[in-house]
Amino acid sequence: MARPKVSSTPASGESRPGASLAAGEPRDDRDPVERFRETLTDILRETAASRGWIGNSRAGAAPLLNSPDLDEAWLRYAPSFYGDAVRNFNEWPEYCLACAGYLGMAVAHLWDKDWARHEKEPYSFFLGKRGFDDMDDRITDEILHERKPAVPAMQDLSAAAQHFLMKECPEPGTALAYRMFLAAEEVMYRIGAAIELSRLGYRMEKM
């Protein structure tokens, strides 16, 4: 996949994957990026549940463990993270997706540990000595102090996310391709946060 390019409008002639509908097939009028986001979330949730990294819930049965604080943190870190990910995506696509998951795990870990202290940490706090290139080692070794389940989880889930992105993505370089790339990174952040919250003992409870 070519490096995603920023564009304000879709390229002319851009079409959604699977343009034709079989007779009698219900039409899905959702935004293609939202459809992509929801389906990828379901795929990664099922994979994580089957490995025991999160609670065993079927796709669509329950939301991922999360907190509004973690959502707000993503909004702060995403612009800087996206810049690093776009620059490196051509050469290391799965690593860029995995780093979003590692970031989610790190933020969730700090949220549980002492959010009042860590809430304002800058994005650079999560980067390694070589910056984005060793962000994974910085997070697993110096923030989580734990490589399991972080490393196998991010390896498997980033591979699954990249496979689905390649399968669903339209022509590289379009605005839609770029939006799907951003959505995949956000989904990886959220699944990473959910895995760490689950590891820390948080569970979804019915109200």
pLDDT at residue 56 in the model: 61
Per-residue pLDDT of the chain (207 residues; tens, 9 = 90+): 333 332 322 333 333 334 334 445 455 567 899 999 999 999 999 999 999 999 865 444 567 899 999 999 999 999 999 999 999 998 999 999 999 999 999 999 999 999 999 999 999 999 999 999 999 999 999 999 988 889 999 999 999 999 999 998 877 788 988 999 999 999 999 999 999 999 999 876 554
Sequence ranges of the domains in the chain: 32-55+65-199
- Asked if 114 and 80 count as a contact pair (C-beta separation under 8 A), the reply is no
Identify the pLDDT of residue 148.
Answer: 84
Overall pTM > 0.95:
no
Q: Torsions phi, psi of 61, nearest 5?
A: -80, -30
d(CA 142, CA 129) in angstroms, rounded, equals: 12
Query: Please, what's the b/e burial string for 108-133 (b: 16 or more CB within 10 A of its CB; e: otherwise)?
Result: bbbbeeeeeebeebebeebbeeeebb
| CB-based contacts of 7, cutoff 8 Å, min separation 6 | 173, 174, 175, 178
